[in-house]
Each structure stands twice: as C-alpha cells, then as structure tokens.
Structure 1
Amino acid sequence: MAAPDHLFNLRNHFYLGAFQSAINNSDIPNLPQEDAVERDCLVYRSYIALGSYQLVVNEIDDSAATPLQAVKLLALYLSNPENKESTISSLKEWLADPAIGNNSTLRLIAGIIFMHEEDYNEALKHTNAGGTMELHALNVQIFLKMHRSDYAERQLRVMQQTDEDHTLTQLASAWLNLAVGGSKIQEAYLIFQDLSEKYPMTGLILNGKAVCCMHMGNFDEAETLLLEALNKDAKDPETLANLIVCSLHLGKSSSRYLSQLKLSYPHHILVKRATSAEENFERAIQSVA
C-alpha cells in the first residue's frame, strides 16, 4: 500500500494560489526529513509569492538543504533587481556542481528564474528532463511562452499519464486550452469552475475564469470575477493587468489599475508596453509640433 501523502493539502493550497492557507496549515507533525524539507520549501515559496522576500532570505541559512538554498536564491533574485547578475551567476555555479546540479528543486528554481529572464532555451536546459509534476507544469508554461503549444501538449500528455486528476495536470490543461483558443476556451472555463467547486476560491482560480470570460466576450462577468479577486489581494499583478484589459473593453477608465501596477510591479510586461506606447506617442507629437 502507498504511504499516505502528508503534504497533499499543503501542495494543493500552494498550486492554487492559497498562499496564506499554505503557511497557516503547514504545521504537520512527525514528517520524515525529506518531507519536512519539501514542506519548508512550499512555505517559503508561499512567502515569496506574497512578496515577503526578506523573511525568506533571513530565515534560510547557509547550512540548509540544497532545495531550501535554491528557494533562497529565488527570493534574492526577486528582491534585488540590481543584483540579478550575481544571483544568476551563483545559480549557474550550483547547476554545474555534479553533487547538487540535478536536484529537482534547484532545476525548478532555475527554470523559474530563466523564464523571468525570458531566456526560455536556458530554462528548458534544466527543466526539460522533468522528473516531478511541477517541472512538467513549468515546461508547459515555458512552451506556451514560446508559442509552441504542440510541445506544451506533449508535456501535458506526460502529466495525464502520470496522474490525470492532479491539480497541476488540471491547471496545465486549462492553460493549454486558453492558448489554443476557439472552442477550447469553454473547456478551460469548466476546469476552473470545477476547481472552484472543489477548493476554496483563490485569486488564481478567479483570474482563470475571468480570462476565459474575456475570451468569450463576457466582459461584465469577467469584471465581477476580477473585482472579487482584487478583494482577496489588492496588489496581485495578474488581477490588476486583467482589470486593465477588461476595463478597456467595457469602455471604463483603467488608469487607477495601471497606476497601481506601475507602483507595485514596474517591470510587468503591461507596464513596459504602456510606457513604450506613451513614449512613442510623445515622440510622434514632437515630430509634428
């Protein structure tokens, strides 16, 4: 008989974006050492997702296990944009070390960091071999960023063969359906709907449903879902970005959401695009003035 999975609920909280719930419900007694390290990784990654980078940097010391050191590296990378080069340099050193380079958490963090850098080939170098459901799910995301839904679909099939009902398999399926579009949007919506009936509603699920609604032209329903997500986390960048798009389609002002996004996430792709458009507009005005 398979051993009970003590971390099942904790992982699910994390995958679905219920980060505070993951932290609050992480006190699981008598865990084997390997499970305890995975538990701590999930808790610290939840703190990172909530923006508490410094707490993670302060609490993980140099004697911690490799997976925790990798999580600390992610916190350092996200907390200090000026210091990205030295963080990436440390990451590359660790990946080249035969003793730890193949650690699945280290490869996962490498994939996340290189995906942030938009260096998708470098990310895939470390994630493509898979080995865990999270690595497969990250591969799906990377391939979709590269507009290679064919490769993303292959990864999803591997996940479905491993565990069709796994939360990450469901999420990856929804992401792929959204990317493919057309009649697949309805299927993506039903996956998010199913998750919202099984688990507590999170910003991630609400955003998923809202994006499906926008694809189907239901902008009023999308706005309702996004405002509910904003109530859960007023600074969530995806909620703010989706509200900007939704407001434009509804003919409403999006300036407040854009201002919030600029303040909290100045490097967000939507902020970069808006700034670039403003600069181009200014240049155009100057050229005819």
Structure 2
Amino acid sequence: MDPFSGEGELLTITTHFHTHAYTKVVEYDTTSLSPPNRSIARMLQHRSRIALGQSRQVLSQLSSAKDAASQAIQALAHQSLGNDQGVELARELAETDGEDSVVQVVCGTVLAAAGEHEKAVELLGKHQGNLEAVALLTHIYLLQNRTDLALKEVQAAKRWAQDSLLINLAEAWLGLRVGGDKYQTSYYIYEELASTPGTTTASSLVAQAVADMHLNRLPEAEATLQQALELDPDDAQARANQVVLACLMGRKRPEVDGLVAGLSDVDDAHPLVRGLAEMEARFDDVAARYQARVAAA
C-alpha cells in the first residue's frame, strides 16, 4: 500500500478536529488510509471521544496498549475525568518519550491544563515541524501574557507553514490579544473559517463573534452567537459570550441572570459561572460585615 494514501482524507479529519467537529472525526471511516495515516487518524479519534465526554470508553479501548502515544491519550482521558493519574503519567512520558510527536502535543496539553506551563513549554519545544505544537505553544504564551514569545512563535512558523489552518488560527488568537487593526485581521480569519464548507462549527462562529465584539459590532456578534447555538445548543463558549455581550449591550439584570443560568445548565463548572459565584460570595461577605457594623452603631 502507498504509504501516502489517504493524505487528503487525513487532512479532512485533521481539519474537523481542529475546528472542534469532533463527531465528524469519530464517525470517519479510516479503513482506506495507509497504516501511518490510519494511526494518526485513530489518535485524533480517541482525542475527539475524550472531548465528547467518552473518556471511560477510550480508557477501556486502550487498557492494554503500552506504546507511548496510547499512554499519552490515556493521560488525557484520566485528566478529563479529574484523576491526578493523568498529570503524573504525562510527566513520566515527557521524561521518557519526549521526542514522540503525540506525547509532545497530548502531554503538553495535559501539563498546560494542570498549570505546569514551564514543563509543557519544555516538552513542546522539542517538536520538529509539528504545527499543533506551535499552536499550543502560542496558546500557552498568551496565557502567560508573553505576547512577544507568541508573536515570535507564529512568525517563525509562517516561514514554513504559511497556509496552515493551525497557524492561521494562532495568528487570529494573537491578533485578538494585540488589538488595533489586528482585530480586523482576526475577524477575516474566523469569517473565512466559518464560511468554508466543512469547517462551519459552533466553535468557529463563536470565534467570529468574539472578533465582532472587539470591533464593537455588537448586533453582528449577537446574530453570529445565535447561529452558533442553533448548530450546538449546548456550546458553553457560545453561552458564555452571550453573557458578556448582554453586559456590553446594557441589557437588564433579569436577562443577564437568565443567560448565566442557561450557561450553568450546560456547564456549571465554566470559569465564568465559577467566577461570578465567587464574586457574589465575596460581595455578600463584605456586605454582611458592614451590616453588622451599622447594627452595632
């Protein structure tokens, strides 16, 4: 069999994965792919199942697998279930199999999600032309407010991967952080992604809406978020951005509260839900202290 057979199909699967069309990735028939490409596709299918909440099934399927790539997937699955074993396994694999491309990206993801950014950067820095590693490094640098390093990473990758979807996405993330005329650049990238057949997902529409908000095109952002929720009513990021947009548009408290409740119904552990709950608790604590002082006076 031609070792390169199925290159176009693999590109389609990869595009679906990076645009969060996980169901399409899982449902894809990989039998016509060459063994190397089939292996890559199967790793993407495992990661997609984890993203879809099927981590236990993935762990069951890979229970007897001992290769580094499969163990990296197991680490990701364990972390998604809240098991400390995931981070511990990722640390081990980073030490023993850090040259493996799957280990770099998947364990780098696990370590970054656990807040171990320096270890993740060290591992991802070993990559040899891995576009997903570049994108993840860019994301980590932006989390660390190191826009300079993120810019350096993207500019270097553009020299050899100018038209890559991942590099375009990384450039769009960077544009939203840099601001100014870069907001418009980011919008164009997301608009093209959202309008391209096969890549129109709730995630791509949410990204376009965020760019619209930065450009103060609030009605357009509202319409785009509604489109995203029509595609996926349970998309937490779409609902979270609805809350932000409602505040920007000066909507009344009952409407905002209703949107927060809708987000909580979909994902009660979302950072926005947790953050609002924490701020309300702090406010109530401070208010109680002042109330006690007033009563004493």
TM-score scaled to structure 1, two decimals? 0.90
What is the DSSP-based 3-state SS (H/G/I as helix, E as strand, rest coil) of the residue aligned with 2:160?
Answer: helix
Specify whether residues 123 and 261 from structure 1 end up closer, same or farther in structure 2 by C-alpha distance, changes over 3 A only. farther
Q: Aligned partner of 2:86: which letter? A: T
Q: What is aligned with 2:244?
A: 245
Rounded Cα–Cα distance in structure 1 between residues aligned with 2:183 and 2:164: 20
State the Cα RMSD in Å: 1.9
Alpha-carbon distance, 1:133 to partner: 0.4
Rounded Cα–Cα distance in structure 1 between residues aligned with 2:197 and 2:37: 23
Contact kept, 8 Å, 1:62 with 1:69, in 2: the verdict is no
Q: What is aligned with 2:141?
A: 143
Q: What is aligned with 1:194?
A: 192
Q: What is aligned with 2:51?
A: 49
Alpha-carbon distance, 1:28 to partner: 2.7
Q: What is aligned with 1:120?
A: 117
Matches within 5 A, 1:171-186: 171-186=169-184
Q: Aligned partner of 1:184: which letter? A: K
Runs of 4+ residues over 3 Å off in structure 1 = 260-267
Matches within 5 A, 1:25-40: 26-40=28-42
Rounded Cα–Cα distance in structure 2 between residues aligned with 1:257 and 1:55: 33
- With 226-235 and 64-73 compared, the bigger mean Cα shift is at 64-73
- With 260-269 and 201-210 compared, the bigger mean Cα shift is at 260-269
* Match status 1:15 vs 2:41: no
Q: What is aligned with 1:88?
A: 87
Q: Aligned partner of 2:134: which letter? A: H
Contact kept, 8 Å, 2:72 with 2:89, in 1: the verdict is no
TM-score scaled to structure 2, two decimals? 0.88
Q: What is aligned with 2:260?
A: 258
Unaligned runs of 5+ in 2: 292-297
For residue 65 of structure 2, the aligned residue among 63, 77, 88 is 63
Superposed CA offset, 1:227-254 (max 9, x none): 2112222222221211110111123322
Rounded Cα–Cα distance in structure 2 between residues aligned with 1:194 and 1:10: 19
Q: Aligned partner of 1:213: which letter? A: D
User: Which has the larger Rg?
Assistant: 2
Contact kept, 8 Å, 2:190 with 2:204, in 1: the verdict is yes
Unaligned runs of 5+ in 1: none
Identity level (%)? 26
Contact kept, 8 Å, 2:208 with 2:224, in 1: the verdict is yes
Rounded Cα–Cα distance in structure 1 between residues aligned with 2:176 and 2:47: 26
What is the DSSP-based 3-state SS (H/G/I as helix, E as strand, rest coil) of the residue aligned with 2:188?
Answer: helix
Contact kept, 8 Å, 2:239 with 2:262, in 1: the verdict is yes
Q: Aligned partner of 2:168: which letter? A: Q
